[in-house]
Structure 1
Amino acid sequence: MKQIDLVYQTMLAELGQRSLDAAWTADFPPEGRFTPVTVKGRKYWYFDIPDGQGGKTRRYVGPADDQDIAQRVETHKREKDDLRARRRMVSSLTREGGMIAPDSMSGDVIEALAAGGLFRLRGVLIGTVAFQTYSGILGVRLPMAAILTGDADVAQDYAVSSEVDDSLPPILELVQSVDPTFRPVPHRSGAAASSAFVNGSGYRVEFLTTNRGSDDYLDQPAKMPALGGASADPLRFLDFLIRDPVRTMLLHKSGVPVTVPDPSRYAVHKLIVASRRQYGGQGSVKRSKDIRQAALLFEALQQTRRTSDLALVYNEAWERGHTWQEGIRAGAGMLTDEDRNRLGDCLRAGAMQIGEDITMPF
């Protein structure tokens, strides 16, 4: 597995800081522009924003001789210059640095959700779109075959959604701003609430949350006050996955700041999830992808000397009891001999570093 040059890892960190610094532009987004308009001999500033249909919407800003407004206009010009610079950075990171950009639909959907406040409200991007960011986090090149996807999965802890006293705009409106063909997917339980949305080409956006108790909750959508009218499907083991998430960048357009699971947690979680997939059809396809992604992360964690991180979260999962141990064992049994040996080497090296015993899953 080839490492990414340090200059590109440094560039990713700079891109992340610049993108966070630019977050104030919500009122005057970079795709718009300030336009001077003279009315009855006096000059005023307006702000034009493309409406996506070849036209524009115009927003009144204020008189041109207002010094505060003049400063905002000048700042916006600098921000647009920085936007172009960030776009060039994203292009360099993906084309030359070996990091991974999402497909355009995934990027646009996550960008819209991020602008709506998803990550501010402690949402976590999970699944393959999150996996795509690990190339930058770990500083290694990941093969494209392991990252292809046709959906976006987002998680939010149930308690967080209930307690933040804030909400995204309506989720349906956010995804329809990307593609008007998005529609709610009827829930399998027959409940009126929807936890997933799909567009005309079959691209799916799904919301998941932590399971609050017995498996009786798993077939019922959970009401999520912070998710803009969307519900979420409770999922076992999800609390482990989204605990202590990390911030990074989705390399789309000028960069989208996102929050994703820690890669060590993602790898262990994938072993467990793979063991619970149904055989046949899409279940088998997803299981193969789960195991492939877990194996790639074990290799990357070993190569980047992060085996202590893996050992810590592995022990945390193992100590949760028989069901967790059974899932880890079954998932590890699906690895190739080479990948299984690598996992064992990682755990032994990590155990020595953290000073804890490790029970091997094989």
Structure 2
Amino acid sequence: MKLLDHTYQTLYSELAQRSLDAQFSEEFSIDGRFISMESGERRYWYFDLPKEGGGKQRTYVGPVDDPAITERVEKFKDLKADNRARRKLVSTLVREAYLPRPEIFVGNIIGALVEAGFFRLRGVMVGTVAFQCYSALLGVRLPNNIMQTGDADFAQFHSISVAVGDTMPPVIDVLRQVDPTFREVPHQADNRYSTQFVARSGYKVEFLTPNTGSNDYAGRPAHMPALGGASAQPLRFLDFLIHQPVRAVVLHGAGLPIFVPAPERYAVHKLIVGSRRQIDDDGTAKSRKDRQQAQTLMETMIELRQGDAVADAYMEAWDRGPAWREAIEGSMHYLGNGGLVANLGASIRRLGGDPSCYGLR
């Protein structure tokens, strides 16, 4: 395990805070600019935004001698300056600290969902794209060979989607801002709904939600009021993964503030799905990557003296029932009986548990 220099950890923390601040304060597109023009005996503020294909769209803002409006303009100038500074922070973290960043196309998709309000509505990015964020969150360099993916997965609790009383713009419109070839994929169980969106390149975006009820619901799309017309695929075990997510920053552009699963929950969840893929016809390659990600995160967190968090998540999942235990045992058996088992057992004992009651010998 190679720790990041403390300087870069500090830079990432600064970027995280400033990106979140900017998300709250952006009222006008950062691509535009304010100008003042004289009319009669007064000056007025206008906002110019470049138009696709050339030219600009000019919007009236208000008189320069209105203190509230001019204060807003000044804050916008600070925001644009901060945008440039945050871009430099992102560049430094990528070029000097060698932290992972998504491909430009993927970063643009995440950025579009940030702007559309998906994460404001308590959405969570899951899957390997989320795994890429853990290097910076944990302050270590994680292996690049288990960070590659050809899709992006996003999740939200159905209860939250219903309760927030708000919605993002139509998902298909949001995605087509990035790539006009995106299309809805009708759900196999009910073609009136879509949980997946695919670009001509084959890149897939999928929305997921926990299935905490009967397996009968696993194959049916769930209507999600907050997702701008998109539905979500219900999945078992997902409620464990996205419970109490953590803030992270995707190193793209000026930094994209998002939510990802807590790393210890991500690791234990990968133990589970690493076994489940064997019976769900998803292939052994994905199963192998799931287990490698789980092992990497668990060993890293134990080495960082965060083993108790891993043990707590592990015991919570184990105690949820036979299906959970069977899946966890399958992956732990695959990983072998090395130092990970011993260290995890030590953390369980510290928390007052008996490792033998959790499949650890």
Identical columns (%):
51
1:53-202 equivalent positions in 2, closer than 5 A:
53-202=53-202
| 1:17 is the counterpart of 2:14 | no
Please state how far the C-alpha of 1:279 moved relative to its aligned partner: 7.1
- Partner AA of 2:118 in structure 1: L
Cα distance change of structure 1 residues 285 and 58 upon mapping to structure 2, 3 Å threshold = farther
Please state how far the C-alpha of 1:257 moved relative to its aligned partner: 0.7
2:122/2:156 contact within 8 Å kept: yes
Distance 1:325 1:32 in 2: 54
Please state how far the C-alpha of 1:10 moved relative to its aligned partner: 1.2
Please state how far the C-alpha of 1:152 moved relative to its aligned partner: 1.0
1:48/1:59 contact within 8 Å kept: yes
Among 344, 350, 357, the residue aligned to 1:353: 350
Q: Deviations over 1:269-303 (max 9, x none)?
A: 11110111147985222112111111211221122
Q: Secondary structure at 2:65's aligned position in 1?
A: coil
1:4/1:98 contact within 8 Å kept: no
| 1:245 is the counterpart of 2:245 | yes
1:255-334 equivalent positions in 2, closer than 5 A:
255-278=255-278, 283-334=283-334
- Partner AA of 2:224 in structure 1: M
- Partner AA of 2:168 in structure 1: L
Q: Deviations over 1:193-251 (max 9, x none)?
A: 10111111111110000104111111110000111110000000000001111111111
Cα distance change of structure 1 residues 130 and 269 upon mapping to structure 2, 3 Å threshold = same
- Partner AA of 1:147 in structure 2: M
Distance 2:308 2:139 in 1: 17
- Partner AA of 1:164 in structure 2: V
2:212/2:239 contact within 8 Å kept: no
Q: Which moved more, 1:63-72 or 1:175-184?
A: 63-72
- Partner AA of 2:226 in structure 1: A
Q: Secondary structure at 1:343's aligned position in 2?
A: helix
| 1:2 is the counterpart of 2:6 | no
Distance 1:357 1:221 in 2: 40
1:310/1:346 contact within 8 Å kept: no
1:20/1:257 contact within 8 Å kept: yes
Distance 1:57 1:142 in 2: 45
Q: Which moved more, 1:5-14 or 1:342-351?
A: 342-351
Cα distance change of structure 1 residues 225 and 353 upon mapping to structure 2, 3 Å threshold = same
Please state how far the C-alpha of 1:356 moved relative to its aligned partner: 2.1
Please state how far the C-alpha of 1:264 moved relative to its aligned partner: 0.8
2:190/2:221 contact within 8 Å kept: no
1:191/1:221 contact within 8 Å kept: no
Q: Secondary structure at 1:168's aligned position in 2?
A: coil
Q: Secondary structure at 2:178's aligned position in 1?
A: coil
Distance 2:50 2:127 in 1: 32
Q: Deviations over 1:52-73 (max 9, x none)?
A: 4444332221122222222222
Q: Secondary structure at 1:99's aligned position in 2?
A: coil
Distance 1:24 1:298 in 2: 34
Q: Which moved more, 1:126-135 or 1:6-15?
A: 6-15
Q: Which moved more, 1:319-328 or 1:351-360?
A: 351-360
Number of residue pairs the alignment of both structures matches: 359
Cα distance change of structure 1 residues 53 and 327 upon mapping to structure 2, 3 Å threshold = farther
Q: For residue 30 of structure 2, what is the aligned residue in structure 1?
A: 30
Distance 2:312 2:127 in 1: 22
Q: Which moved more, 1:159-168 or 1:21-30?
A: 21-30
Q: Which moved more, 1:134-143 or 1:49-58?
A: 49-58
Q: Secondary structure at 2:3's aligned position in 1?
A: coil
Q: For residue 206 of structure 1, what is the aligned residue in structure 2?
A: 206
Q: Deviations over 1:75-131 (max 9, x none)?
A: 111111111111111111111123211111221111111111111111111001110
Please give the TM-score of this superposition, normalised by the length of structure 1: 0.94
Please give the TM-score of this superposition, normalised by the length of structure 2: 0.94
Cα distance change of structure 1 residues 280 and 273 upon mapping to structure 2, 3 Å threshold = closer
Please state how far the C-alpha of 1:36 moved relative to its aligned partner: 2.4
Q: Deviations over 1:124-178 (max 9, x none)?
A: 1100111000001111101211111121100001111111111111111111111
Q: Which runs of 5+ in 2 are unaligned?
A: none
